[in-house]
């Protein structure tokens, strides 16, 4: 099959391209060539999806069985591309997010939960995405979903992942934890070690995407690991074991961290107290073929990639993640003498 990937050089797009090539599909990538290297074996087309001339040049003389959109953030931009591609491909997959639900992370959500209201022609530029609030990001992604459904004359699959971890991660979540634990010593571990978490491994997300396309599965799916599969403690213990650092995890109460103004989700990556954070329903994706590996496998794969490739490519959101060594030391000292 012939696949067009909008993006395809970093994290989600790159791993999907690698999986598609491994399954024998022909892959064209369309991107600006600024944020990563092309995957060997692809037809790389340079262009900016916000530029109508570039899009017309892309479709001239080309057709595909599938379009996979890993880089859509602005509804009007996504809709313009989808309309142009609607008679050039048979199916469209849009990578969205659980952030489209206004109730998340305060409350549990399912695919039936209300999503943000956002016009499918809302305009803007993806260059601002790294500075958007969570609400703006979620609203624009909801608008993108509507733009694809309105514009594409064919099968549409909308994937709403939660937290995505694994090899090639460039956001600075699990990669930050691995680098911190690799240094050893006492490590501030947040909250309750038994707290369930639901990150999805990028390799499982890529495999599920291909399965949806190959089996002609349309619809909207939350893509997260099933509840009860992993805990925060299992993830950090796996980091200790994988790095071989002998780091000592010191578990610190949620209320203590909140009282000391530690930023949730970013300053301590993946730590968040609202009850819906790790309560995303995935019963629709599981029957459609989503399978999720153990968290130990995700940690092992990520650390193996980091050890081989070095730190991930620069990305604006990396700067938002991680507790400074000085603040961690201060917090642990206060915790010891509380």
How much is the pLDDT for 313? 63
The count of other CB atoms within 10 Å of the CB of residue 282 is 22
Tokens standing for residue 63: 């057709």
* Domains contained in the chain, CATH given: 2-161 (3.40.50.720), 174-197+227-277+294-336 (3.90.25)
For 198-256, how does the pLDDT look when each residue is reduced to its tens digit (9 = 90+)?
999 999 999 999 999 999 999 999 999 999 999 999 999 999 999 999 999 999 999 99
**Residue 192 CB-half CA count within 13 A:** 10
Strand ranges (DSSP E) for 182-267?
Answer: 186-190, 196-197, 200-201, 219-223, 230-231, 248-252, 264-265
For 249-285, how does the pLDDT look when each residue is reduced to its tens digit (9 = 90+)?
999 999 999 999 999 999 999 999 999 999 999 999 9
How much is the pLDDT for 127? 74
**DSSP classification of residue 37:** P
Give Cα 249 distance to the centre of its chain.
26
Rounded CA-CA distance 254/275 in Å is 13
Q: Which of 159, 299, 290, 286 is nearest to 238 (CA)?
A: 299
Per-residue DSSP letters for 127-151?
GGGGG--HHHHHHHHHHHHHHHHHH
């Amino acid at each position: 099959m012939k696949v067009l990937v909008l993006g395809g050089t970093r994290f989600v797009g790159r791993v999907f391209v690698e999986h598609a090539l491994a399954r024998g599909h022909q892959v064209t990538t369309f991107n600006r060539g600024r944020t990563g290297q092309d995957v060997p074996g692809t037809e790389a087309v340079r262009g900016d999806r916000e530029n109508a001339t570039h899009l017309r040049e892309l479709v001239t003389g080309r057709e595909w069985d599938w379009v996979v959109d890993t880089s859509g953030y602005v509804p009007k931009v996504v809709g313009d591309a989808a309309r142009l591609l609607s008679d050039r491909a048979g199916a469209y997959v849009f990578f969205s997010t659980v952030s489209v639900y206004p109730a998340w992370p305060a409350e549990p959500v399912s695919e039936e939960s209300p999503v943000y209201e956002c016009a499918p022609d809302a305009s803007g530029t993806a260059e601002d995405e790294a500075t958007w609030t969570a609400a703006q990001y979620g609203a624009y992604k909801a608008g993108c979903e509507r733009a694809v459904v309105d514009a594409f004359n064919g099968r549409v699959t909308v994937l709403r992942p939660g937290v995505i971890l694994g090899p090639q991660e460039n956001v600075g979540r699990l990669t930050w934890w691995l680098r911190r634990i690799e240094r050893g010593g006492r490590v501030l571990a947040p909250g309750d070690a038994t707290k369930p978490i639901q990150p999805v491994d990028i390799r499982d997300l890529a495999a599920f995407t291909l399965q949806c396309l190959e089996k002609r599965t349309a619809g909207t799916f939350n893509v997260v690991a099933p509840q009860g599969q992993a805990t925060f403690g299992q993830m950090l213990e796996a980091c200790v074991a994988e790095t071989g650092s002998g780091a000592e995890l010191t578990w610190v109460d949620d209320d203590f961290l909140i009282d000391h103004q530690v930023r949730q989700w970013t300053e301590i990556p993946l730590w968040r107290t609202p009850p819906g954070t790790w309560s995303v329903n995935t019963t629709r994706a599981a029957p459609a073929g989503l399978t999720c590996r153990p968290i130990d496998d995700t940690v092992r794969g990520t650390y193996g990639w980091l050890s081989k490739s070095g730190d991930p490519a620069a990305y604006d959101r990396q700067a938002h993640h991680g507790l400074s060594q000085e603040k961690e030391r201060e917090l642990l000292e206060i915790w010891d003498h509380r």
